[in-house]
Structure 1
């Protein structure tokens, strides 16, 4: 085994790869747990930073939702990297096989999702729009009652110069927005802004009397995002290809190591 440089290299390459993901997963998981149990510390820490854009995250609801997302992502990364690292370092065929099977299932899920999305393209678009609309209907509120979803939409609309999924009328489906909007016709993030970080409209009348010159009230974010994907398709294809190669690599290595470890331990008996 010691003379087999290829197996040795594969073993420690898989160890290194999963160790890095293990560290990242642990940090993400730990951060999520910390946010879930001690929001006050994060709020106090962020308020030290003199940035209105960062301080928008100090809403307790936004912190709680962000914590749950981090816990789920961190737990998955922690579990998968633990299997891969321990399987390689301990030369455990059981752990490596389990790791490889999980990676195969994840790859199959990605391929199936991509295939269904391509085959049912129009339905996929409709479902995507329905999902995006549901995030506005169920969660979107005013800046005074901001949560993580509201902040996400505000950032997306202000950065991409758009409004809602289809247009400004999407916000009328949100009871939280309707009950707290006052005389506003649309959110500040839908306006042409003079200060993006604080969501300050260039025209003070924009939120009550939007026009095509002072707002993006007729320009839906779904259309803008679709156009952005089309214009950057080469980069996106390249990134997805790179991720696919790495994914195949993490499937190929554990099964090759399983075979090598079986031969090695068989020779020692």
Structure 2
């Protein structure tokens, strides 16, 4: 009977160890994005009832599952356990199919996700002129965003701040007299509202997620091949 190839066995172990590390990385990044204070405040859905964090929550779940599968693959390879390898193969195949389905749905509902983000940002305009604690937290997050990206207001520029403009104008203040600045309520402020910049930041993060997903798909296909070859070799031993 044919024996188990040591090369395949330890390649499978190394592969799954890296796969396990990928799961930790995805989980850590997703949790960081989910718990990021500024991200939560700026993308808070307000009263719209729609959460823009659905994709992040899915990534948290995927990262956790990948960690478990990586553990199963490592143990299955070292202990030459057909049961663990089969569970690993089935779980990995399901994740790959879910990724394909998520990619198709993401492409199909791209305009819908853009609409949700747009509605969320427009809904949050009223928080800039409000005075409650929730509004104050959102205002603090946006002032930090304005400082970093040199913009003012969400959609309509400085006017979005309403009666709170004088209290928060410092982050909008423009030191030059260029076309990118405009006078509002006696202050020289940035002309560009932040909505387009927020959308650009979100789009960049989506591209990163897509890149990670494609990289994972290649790794997952290799994992499927390795696990099935090792599974068959153990069976023929």
State whether TM-score is above 0.5: yes
Stretches of structure 2 lacking an aligned partner (at least 5 in a row): 45-52, 77-83, 177-182
Alignment equivalent of 1:14, drawn from 16, 19, 35 = 16
1:86 aligns with 2:71: yes
SS in 1 for 2:166: coil
1:158 aligns with 2:147: yes
Alignment equivalent of 1:97, drawn from 83, 90, 110 = 90
Query: CA deviation digits over 1:95-152, x for unaligned, max 9?
Result: 34223312431342134213432xx4xx65443321222344458867x9743x4443
Q: Could you say if the C-alpha distance between residues 266 and 158 of structure 1 is closer, same or farther in structure 2, counting changes exceeding 3 Å?
A: same
**Alignment-derived partner of residue 257 in structure 1:** 226
Question: In 2, distance between residues paired with 1:160 and 1:97?
Answer: 46
RMSD, matched Cα: 4.6
Q: Could you say if the C-alpha distance between residues 106 and 210 of structure 1 is closer, same or farther in structure 2, counting changes exceeding 3 Å?
A: farther
Question: In 1, distance between residues paired with 2:124 and 2:104?
Answer: 26
**Alignment-derived partner of residue 197 in structure 1:** none
Q: Could you say if the C-alpha distance between residues 114 and 73 of structure 1 is closer, same or farther in structure 2, counting changes exceeding 3 Å?
A: closer
TM-score by length of 2: 0.60
Question: In 2, distance between residues paired with 1:80 and 1:190?
Answer: 44
Matches of residues 89-168 of structure 1 in structure 2 within 5 Å? 89-91=74-76, 92=84, 93-117=86-110, 120=111, 125-137=114-126, 146-147=136-137, 149-167=138-156, 168=158
Alignment equivalent of 1:215, drawn from 189, 206, 209 = 189
Number of residue pairs matched?
202
**Alignment-derived partner of residue 184 in structure 1:** 166
SS in 2 for 1:184: helix
Per-residue deviation at 1:267?
0.7
Q: Could you say if the C-alpha distance between residues 159 and 11 of structure 1 is closer, same or farther in structure 2, counting changes exceeding 3 Å?
A: same
Per-residue deviation at 1:78?
5.2
Question: In 2, distance between residues paired with 1:111 and 1:74?
Answer: 16
Per-residue deviation at 1:186?
5.7
Give the structure, 1 or 2, with the largest relative contact order (CA under 8 Å, sep 6 or more).
2
**Alignment-derived partner of residue 245 in structure 1:** 214
Per-residue deviation at 1:252?
0.6
Q: Could you say if the C-alpha distance between residues 254 and 22 of structure 1 is closer, same or farther in structure 2, counting changes exceeding 3 Å?
A: same
TM-score by length of 1: 0.54
Question: In 2, distance between residues paired with 1:110 and 1:76?
Answer: 16
Query: CA deviation digits over 1:18-37, x for unaligned, max 9?
Result: 135337747986x99xx9xx
